[in-house]
A and B are shown apart, each in its own frame.
Chain A
Amino acid sequence: MLKSKIKTIIFLSKHKRVTRYYPFVPISPPENLRGRLEVDPNRCIGCGSCVRTCPSRLISIENLEAEKVVKFSAGRCIYCGRCAQLCPEKAVKITHEFELATDNKNDLEILIKIKMAKCIICGKPFISLNMLNKQIEKLREKNEEEIKKLKVCLECKKN
């Protein structure tokens, strides 16, 4: 009985305090920590790849007249980082920020608006401006005609 208690005391004396003075002394998170999301509206092309992959189903895209509204209700985010991984334009980024406690869920919401481009024939918005610029960039022959073709919506192309 006594022997094991002495052993316990020796065991205890080998170790110093392990708790930290957080939050009075800030700690640096590990490199791979997945924290708050950051979305770059200039890069987002509104493709919806994040919408399909988000396990919490918190990302929605709403098509308005002249713009697309991408909404991240990040209060429900589980910080899996799948949206950032699968974003083709790297518009979604995972930061190291982890102190996100708030009394209002809406503080965490991210709303971005992406401008839409209008069809040069019918005048309806049909593609996000970023997507159009990307497509133009990708063109092999950058002549007027090819660019014009891209600016026409599917319906007008059919006619």
Chain B
Amino acid sequence: MQNFLYPITEVAEKIEKFRENIIVYVEPHQIKETVKLLILQNIRFVHLTAIDFSDKKNKIELNYFFLLLKDKVNIVLKVYVDSLNPTISSISDIIPAAIWAERECNDLFGVKFEGHPDPRRLVLSDDWPEGMYPLRKDFKYNQKPPQEKKPFLLKKPKEGTTVIPIGPFYPSLEEPAYFRLIVEGEKIIDFDYRGFYVHRGIEKLAESALNYQQIPFLAERICGICGFVHSTCYCQAVEKAADIDIPQRAKFIRSMFLELERIHSHLLWIGLAAHIIGFDTLFMQTWRIREPVMYMCEIITGNRKTYGINIVGGVIIDVLPQHLRDLENIISDIEKEIKELREIILEDDTIQLRFKNVGILEYKEAEKYSVCGPVARASGIKTDMRVDFPYAAYPTLSLRVPTKKEGDIWARTLIRLDEILISIGILKEILTNIPEGSTSVKVSKIPSWKEAISYVEAPRGQLFHYILTGPDGKPYRWAVRAPSYQNYQCLSILLQGATIADAPLIIGSIDPCFSCTERYEILDIKNKTFRIYSLQELECLKAR
């Protein structure tokens, strides 16, 4: 047993080790103690999710997922709470990264967290009736509960401050979210967020109506930009749970598309960031460079986006030799262009004036909020799931993890520019090393009650899928935590002290993906108490 586990043995009931996971069973009243001991070991919070076992043992199982980067192990704390009165003390005051996850558990499972700093609704819409918990097993997936109108509890601004609402349709990223900036003059002093307007009930649908081979296509639709990471992560989780070994060629094809996706996603972000500061020439040019990548994906898979090639057991298409040749030409072309683009960005004073020393996230805060991806790397946290928990073809590929210490938007931009070039390097390696062979294996029955954790380094950061296989040919629980879900929570730190004009840029700089974060269900919210800024008004604000 590893050294770091010694202190926990006193509070834990039972400790099991399974592959790279250490499962610790804890009594509900000991949870805070255990987390306090764990936090001394520099663990990172990943996710908190619940599994409803009320029909079997009258319990709800809470799973706290932690990650110990230096030992490369997952620590899963399992706590059983009574399903009739599920209460447990909150860990949000020790780990702020768990604020959203606890609110979500409260919404979807009805678990009450005592001492939670912000126990408002997160996921469920405001007209959802009290006492209905959609992810419990007694709730049917196609059930429509009666509406119950209630206003959403908004943060009360202090006297002398003004509230500037942005949304419910966020103008610069063109997605639904409602930000409230509480300002004193030009300075933002507090921030409130109401999102989850695109909650689609995906986890519930997968758990109740689909089988293992249908879910990859649903998983791919979680995100509109980086959907392939979700289907890969889901398939890897099921393959891990069922001990399926997929052919090497399938692994390489998966890695290839993951890298292509990273390239086009980062280029999209650079374009958007340029668009937010009004540098539309750069926006057009980055998106022009991005186009051949999308076109190449279309030629190989048939789709520009949402390739639909992942299934449990491999991929359903094969890459032809002429495709590989075309891809090689295209990536060497765009490599040249990206280098030119990089020079333009690096030397442009306007961009630097807008990006440097804006939206700073210190190393300490980044650790506290367990942020991931380019945001974490720009703040000095060296984390990349491709290196920490290598999956697909990454164990055989060489890659470098760029880090920066500044933690501002400029650092995030440089990291993303660097990552595009690294991805091109990885693609070249894949193209020369891709092995011959079949691309999928036949999957027979998937054993029940097996669990698995799978990570993928998405363009926006660490993506986490958890699966518990069920007895009837579908998962009993499938939990998804998108990278933006974690990165969102540090926005309050980033925005504090910034000016209103920088707010759209700061929000944009974490590359938020709304549909990833809010993987659930559509229900509308009516809130007319505050004046909503129009796009023109916001553009005026931005221009100032």
Query: Is B418 part of the contact surface with A, judged by Cβ < 8 Å?
Result: no
Report B-chain residues with C-beta under 8 Å of the C-beta of A11.
285, 340-341, 344
Instruction: Mark contacts of B334-350 with chain A using CB atoms, 8 A cut-off: 1 yes-contact digit, 0 otherwise.
Output: 00000011011001111
Partner among B291, B299, B308, B347 whose Cβ is within 8 Å of the Cβ of A80:
B308
Contact of B214 with A55 in the complex, beta carbons under 8 Å: yes
CA distance A82 to B217 in the complex (A): 10
> Known contacts A4-B347, A4-B349: does B291 contact A18 (CB below 8 Å)?
yes
A18 and B347 contact, CB distance less than 8 A: no
Interface 1/0 per residue, B292-325 and A, CB below 8 Å: 0000001111110000100000001100000000
Binds B, one of A31-39, A104-112, A120-128, A139-147: A31-39
Contact B308 A78 (CB under 8 A): yes
Complex: how many Å from CA A74 to CA B300?
24
| Residue on B nearest A31 in the bound complex, by CB | B299
Interface contact A32-B349, CB-CB below 8 Å = no
The answer for the CA separation of A88 and B316 in the assembled complex, in Å, is: 16
Residues of B within 8 A of A4 (CB): 343-344, 347-349
Most buried by A among B210, B301, B347: B347
* Chain B residues with CB under 8 A of A33: 298, 302-303
Q: Is B213 positioned at the interface, with any CB of A under 8 Å from its CB?
A: yes
Q: Does A154 contact B (CB under 8 A)?
A: no
A1, CB-defined interface residue at 8 Å = yes
Contact between A7 and B218 (Cβ–Cβ < 8 Å)?
Answer: no
Alpha-carbon distance between A85 and B309 when the two chains are bound, in angstroms:
12
B288 within 8 A of A: yes
Q: A128 to chain B: closest CB distance in Å?
A: 24
Residues of B within 8 A of A (CB-CB), count: 32
**Interface set, chain A 69-89, CB cutoff 8 A to B:** 78-82, 85
CA distance A126 to B226 in the complex (A): 47
> Contacts of B341 on A, CB cut-off 8 Å?
11
A104 to B463 Cα, complex, angstroms: 38
Contact B344 A85 (CB under 8 A): no
Q: Interface majority SS on A: helix, strand, loop or mixed?
A: loop
Q: Is the Cβ of B214 less than 8 Å from the Cβ of A54?
A: yes
Asked, given contacts A11-B285, A18-B288, whether A78 binds B217 with beta carbons under 8 Å apart, the answer is yes
Known: A30-B298, A34-B302, A55-B217. A3 touches B347 (CB 8 A): yes
Give B217-247 interface residues, CB cut-off 8 Å to A. 217-218, 221
Q: What residue of chain A has the Cβ atom nearest to residue B209's Cβ?
A: A57
A101 to chain B, nearest CB (A): 17
CB atoms of A32 and B317 under 8 A apart: yes
| Distance in angstroms between the alpha carbons of A11 and B211 in the assembled complex | 50
CB proximity of B299 to chain A, nearest CB, Å: 5
A7 touches B344 (CB 8 A): yes
Secondary structure at the B interface, as helix, strand, loop or mixed, is: helix
User: How long is the Cα–Cα vector from A49 to B148 in the complex, in angstroms?
Assistant: 42
The reply to whether the CB of A15 lies closer than 8 angstroms to some CB of chain B is: yes
| Residues from 1 to 33 in A contacting B, C-beta threshold 8 Å | 1, 3-5, 7-8, 11-12, 15, 18, 30-33
Interface string of B346-363 (1 = CB under 8 A from A): 011110000000000000
* Interface: B281 (CB within 8 A): yes
| Cβ-defined contact, B281 with A7, below 8 A | no
Chain A proximity mask over B274-294: 1 for CB below 8 Å, otherwise 0: 000000011001001001000
State which of A5, A30, A53 has its C-beta within 8 Å of the C-beta of B214: A53
Would A32 and B214 count as touching, CB distance under 8 A?
no
B206 → chain A closest CB, angstroms: 10
**In the complex the two chains form, is B281's CB within 8 Å of A12's CB?**
yes
Question: Would B302 and A32 count as touching, CB distance under 8 A?
Answer: yes
Chain B contacts for A1, CB-based, 8 A: 348-350
Chain A residues near B302 (CB-CB < 8 A): 30, 32-34, 81
Which listed residue, A7, A15, A32, A52, touches B343 by the CB 8 Å rule? Answer: A7
Tell me, in angstroms, the Cα distance from A30 to B209 when the chains sit together: 33
B303 touches A34 (CB 8 A): yes
A8 touches B288 (CB 8 A): no
Distance in Å from the Cβ of B371 to the closest Cβ of chain A?
31
Let me know if A8 and B344 touch, CB within 8 A: yes
Q: Does A15 lie within 8 Å of B340, measured CB to CB?
A: no
A11 to B344 alpha-carbon distance, docked (Å): 9
Q: Output the nearest chain B residue to A3 by Cβ-Cβ distance.
A: B347
C-alpha spacing A52/B214, complex, angstroms: 9
- Select the residue from A52, A80, A85 with max chain B CB neighbours within 10 A: A80
B interface residues (Cβ-Cβ under 8 A, vs A): 209-211, 213-218, 221, 281-282, 285, 288, 291, 298-303, 308, 316-317, 340-341, 343-344, 347-350
Q: Could you show 8 A-B contacts with beta carbons less than 8 Å apart?
A: A1-B349, A11-B344, A12-B281, A12-B285, A18-B291, A55-B215, A80-B217, A85-B316
New A-B contacts (4) at CB < 8 Å, excluding given A11-B285, A53-B214, A57-B209:
A3-B347, A33-B302, A52-B211, A57-B214
Interface residues of A (CB under 8 A from B): 1, 3-5, 7-8, 11-12, 15, 18, 30-34, 52-55, 57, 78-82, 85
Q: Which 6 A-B pairs have the closest CB atoms?
A: A32-B302, A4-B347, A55-B217, A55-B214, A80-B308, A4-B348
